[in-house]
Amino acid sequence: MNNDTVLITGASSGIGKELARQFAKHGHPLVIVAPVEAELQSVAAELSNEYNVPVQVLAKDLTDEDAVEEIYTELRSAGTEIEILVNNAGLGHRGNFWEVPLEQLLEILRLNVEAVLKLTRYFLPEMVSRGHGRVLNTASIAGFEPGPMMATYHASKAFVLSLSESLATELKDTGVTLTALCPGPVDTDFFPKAEMVETKVFQKGNVMAPQEVAEAGYEALMNGERTVVPGAVNKAMVFSRRFLPESGQAKMNEKMYQEVPPEDQKRERGDIEAKAAARE
């Protein structure tokens, strides 16, 4: 399937950029989407030079109401068929629900929920009609449990996870597969944008490199798996929810989202990602 064209959202950094690298390494033509064109052009140049694959750039902010329709229309006008859709873009914001500005909460839903639903609804019918295609949705282990201080983010990922599991069953025998990628904390721009670099989950938690997560996501997608949880610790956390009451899960996550004292803050965004890159 290495000739299949892949559309990846949130592809300018983090998991999205590393997923783009995985697909490029395996010969797939790419369409990469993110809000800032200069960042996308940099990624496109890097991947096309290294792996000799065509990379098309679409600078779109998926929180804009018309962005998904514009993506679909532009690709259709260009005669570009999307055989693999990767719904990766997402964001969160830490804080008490009643204190976070309503517009920030709605922005999370527009990107994490509405954009995923709309992109899947636009591109899935053509895959089913061709009897050929794959969809990868970046969910999160947050989708398995409640998250005080990150309530809307957890709820949005629960939606993505449930939608993915439902569609995976609907798509049985169509020739199309759908995989939910459910990482735990990952060293990406998510943490500074969510104002969470100082929190226990980033400073003390089992934070993975985006390269590791992307590799696991790519392999699971190509193997037709329904759900993949990268990392042994994350797998154990998901398994433990079968025995831990929701109130206990909520309290545990609430503690992880608290800030640690400045003297205990040892990690910076990019440390883990850089170490993984140095090993490659």
Active site residues: 153, 157
Are 65 and 71 spatial neighbours (Cβ–Cβ below 8 Å)? no
Q: Find where tokens 């025998």 sit.
A: 173
Report d(CA 5, CA 54) in Å as an integer.
Answer: 9
- E strand segments, 44-116: 55-59, 84-87
**Token pair of 114, please?**
């509405």
Report d(CA 223, CA 280) in Å as an integer.
Answer: 24
**Token pair of 17, please?**
């950029």
Report d(CA 70, CA 98) in Å as an integer.
Answer: 34
* Coil/strand/helix, residue 211: helix
CA 93 to mean position of chain CA atoms:
15
Are 159 and 137 spatial neighbours (Cβ–Cβ below 8 Å)? no
